[in-house]
């Protein structure tokens, strides 16, 4: 009975949150095209500086390809270990 009450309470809370979200959406519209004004420049951030940085990062990664591959392998290994930890069977306490 208590689990059923928790289920109903959580469902009611979710419905109330959705109703509040829909109320906010109905009250405040989303101005999809309000920011497209003819007088504004298309690029607000100059790309000249970022082209230099991106080419330097690309050169670094290709020159130090071993570091890149080791970091990718570490991320994949960490993901596998985390997934296995989630799938570990529970041990009953005595």
- DSSP assignment letter at 26: H
Whether 34 and 27 have beta carbons less than 8 Å apart is answered as: no
Task: Give per-residue pLDDT as tens, 14-72.
Answer: 999 999 888 877 787 666 666 666 555 566 666 667 777 778 888 887 888 887 788 89
Residue 18 is predicted with a pLDDT of 92
6 CB-contact burial (10 Å; exposed 0-12 / middle 13-18 / buried 19+): exposed
Q: b or e along 58-92 (b: 16 or more beta carbons within 10 Å of the residue's beta carbon)?
A: eeeeeeeeeeeeeeeeeeeeeeeeeeeeeeeeeee
């Amino acid at each position: 009975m208590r689990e059923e009450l928790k289920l109903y309470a959580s469902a009611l809370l979710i419905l109330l949150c959705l109703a509040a979200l829909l109320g906010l959406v109905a009250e405040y519209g989303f101005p999809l095209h309000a920011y497209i004004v003819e007088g504004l420049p298309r690029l607000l951030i100059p790309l000249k500086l970022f082209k230099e940085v991106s080419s330097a990062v690309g050169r670094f990664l290709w020159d130090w390809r071993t570091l890149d591959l080791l970091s990718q392998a570490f991320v994949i290994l960490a993901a596998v270990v985390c997934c296995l930890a989630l799938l570990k069977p529970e041990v009953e306490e005595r």
